[in-house]
Chains A and B, each alone.
Chain A
Amino acid sequence: MENRQTVLIVEDETGISGFIKAILAANNYDVLITDKGATGISMAASYCPDIILLDMGLPDIDGMDVLKNIRQWSRIPIIIVSARGHEREKVEALDAGADDYLTKPFGTAELLVRIRTALRHSHDAVQSKTLPDEKFQVGTLKIDYEKRLVHVDGEEIHLTPIEYKILVILSRNAGKVLTHDYIMKEIWGPFEKDNQALRVNMANIRRKIEDNPAQPKYILTEVAVGYRMVEQI
């Protein structure tokens, strides 16, 4: 039996924090709410919540500053909540250490999935610092990290080294969105600014592992942000 996990909601709109609280309470989470960024930081320090939902538009300080402040001393998973059309803000927050994002208005299912994914990743990071999983499977896609083999529907898939690296990074972070910049930095190093190579490689990966590259089921596109590998189909 697990302890109930605590969610800290930093959100100035009571309408939104209210319904989030209702959803989370119904799903066995403890909920803390504050409407100020400064209080959010001190509550994060004193209550040690398991996860933080952070609205980017706060009345006192910028959500980005709250995020950066907390990231200086803690790895608590943070999911940012932002309005539609603020793609740049989302990418910046993700690159500054946010774990995921939600776009207003979001549904119940989406909220719960994001929270669960973020919690599991932080859990994994704490539990198994030594050895990562040797295998990954979602749907009929199987990755054997040790043997560097990829199978779809039991058939072996031939990937170039770069394609394989991209697939590994995404699958290790399955469920999480990875920004274009993050993936590019991991593969090509910090000086690659042109994301065309990533687009072309991704298109090729999809042609190899997806039934229909225009309607992918394994690697989803987050337009203007990045890519997300699904955890389950």
Chain B
Amino acid sequence: MIKQVVIKNVRNVCRQLLIVISLLAGAFLVAVFIKSIGFPVVNAAVVYVLSVLLVARFTRGYFYGILASVLCMANYNFFFTQPYYSFNVYDKSDIITITVMLIASILTSTLTSTNTGKLLHASKLAEDRESQTNILYQITSSLAKASGVSDVAAVSVQCLSNLLDTDVLCIMSAEQNSSRSLFQARRGDRRIQISEVGNGQIEEYSSGKKVIPIGDPSNQYGVICIPVTASQKSREREKLVPAIIMQIQSAMDREKFSEEKKIVKIEMEHEKFRGNLLRAISHDLRTPLAGISGTAEVLMSNLKNEKDRDLAEGIFEETNWLTQMVENILSLTQIEDGHLVLRKQPEAIEEIVGEAVKHARKIAGQRKIILDIPEDVLLVSMDGKLILQVLINLIDNAIKHTQTDGIVQIKVYTDKNHVWFSITDNGSGIKAGDLPYLFDSFFVAQEAKGSSRSGIGLGLSIVRAIVQAHGGRVFAENDKGGGAVFRFYLPVKEIDSDER
């Protein structure tokens, strides 16, 4: 290698010297010609200055220019000043000529070679920059085509390997305890090796290499390992590596975000599918259920045998319970999918609460229902049917959790901007541990599990969804007296402003 460089240098020097010699020879011949046809010898000196200029133009560095100047002057002195063929000078004016010529030619040659050098340097710089831009462009465009973080990693090692003409490794960060992926590009090989490595092997791969991380410490995608090289060219190109790493990082960012987006989208579609399925099933169940309950009711009145009548009644009651559940599922899926359109209009609170109480009395048995609502007419903007459902669910819940002689109290009161509804029972109350989950879908209190008609825990989540859709909130707590209190409020402001 070194030998090659030396040979190259020697060759270079020889070529430059050859230029010097041939130009000087040319100048000498022209000078001889000028002298022979009888022009003054001073013209020959001018020709020599020209030759020095040419030498400086076609060679690199000051050395050859100065060398040419000295040689020229020596030559001129030797051949064209008296005494001829000697370095002595008789005429004083010749000394001035030679000295001035020498200074002039040295100055010219240095100036020329400086300019030439600058020009050459600038054009080389431009070339370098162009090639760097090209490389960056190629890498950017191939990174842009990559899809997926691991694809980006593969493209990255390939590009870096091509650029630096060496082996490049990329070790990705571990994702959720799985082993790390290793991307390996060998010099001169277009294929990328992908393998899995354990955490322990990282040292083994990265030792003795330059390790460059991709990404911030908080969000690191992996590291790139490049062998420490000595080659001039690759060292030049290594200056590009930080820029390329930035490109790789942003490509990985992009791919990571798009992957995350895709996952979210898929999850949303699953959720939607689940909701649709549930809704379709519930919808299809409700009609046959209506048929069954109706038929059972007919049987109840038609059958003569009392045992048969009891059986029919059993069917009737179970079907009604099932119907209730199917309706709950339907309501919830509609609310959750945003299919629910609130048909808000001013409703008199007493009408809605009155209907809820009417329903409560039907299922209350021996339980006492106490109603406490304001004397004044209270109009609140709401979807009456849905708020009725809220009240019915809360009352059902209260009745379910009280003894047969229990008391359920329904109270309506107002504060400045809200109308409050509270449903209080004197049952066993709510376990402290259950309170946070009470309104979650499919939550059933521990002690209620196992009883055949515990429901599937949708009633209260429907309550919350409907109340929230109205811009209200619902609260559950234990009463001082021991029972449970469910309270919710609805905003009331818009009604008063435009009343007649």
Contacts and interface: CB of A to CB of B under 8 A. Distances in A.
Contacts of B354: 213-216, 221
SS of B interface (majority): helix
Interface string A184-206: 00000000000111011011101
Interface string B342-383: 010111101111110110000000000001010001010001
Nearest to A15: B291
Given A196-B346, A204-B377, A16 B290 contact: yes
Contacts of B327: 84-85
A228 to B, nearest CB: 12
Given A85-B331, A105-B323, A223-B385, A203 B350 contact: yes
B228 interface: no
A14 B320 CA distance: 19
Interface stretch (A20-28, A70-78, A116-124, A161-169): A20-28
A19 interface: yes
B500 A224 contact: no
A15 B500 CA distance: 49
Contacts of B211: none
B93 interface: no
B388 interface: yes
B301 interface: yes
Contact of A224 (B319, B320, B343): B343
B379 A200 contact: yes
SS of A interface (majority): helix
Nearest to A81: B290
Contacts of A16: 287, 290-291, 294
B242 interface: no
Interface residues of B, number: 44
What band does the interface of chain A fall in when counting residues whose beta carbon is under 8 Å from B? 35 or more
A104 B298 contact: no
B292 interface: yes
A108 B298 contact: yes
A191 to B, nearest CB: 15
A83 to B, nearest CB: 7
Interface string B271-298: 0000000000000001111111111011
B384 to A, nearest CB: 5
A203 B294 contact: no
Given A18-B291, A20-B294, A221 B351 contact: yes
Interface centre among B291, B301, B355, B358 (most CB of A within 10 A): B291
Contacts of B295: 15, 18-19, 22
B290 A22 contact: no
Nearest to A91: B343
A224 B345 CA distance: 9
A33 to B, nearest CB: 13
Given A15-B287, A196-B346, A224 B385 contact: yes
Interface string B283-325: 0001111111111011001100000000000000001100100
B348 A224 contact: no
A152 B348 CA distance: 23
Contacts of B388: 223
Interface centre among B287, B351, B384 (most CB of A within 10 A): B351
The 7 nearest A-B residue pairs measured at CB? A15-B291, A105-B290, A19-B294, A203-B377, A19-B295, A221-B351, A104-B290
18 contacts: A13-B288, A13-B291, A15-B295, A18-B291, A18-B295, A19-B291, A19-B297, A22-B298, A88-B343, A196-B379, A197-B500, A203-B351, A206-B350, A214-B353, A221-B354, A223-B347, A223-B385, A224-B385
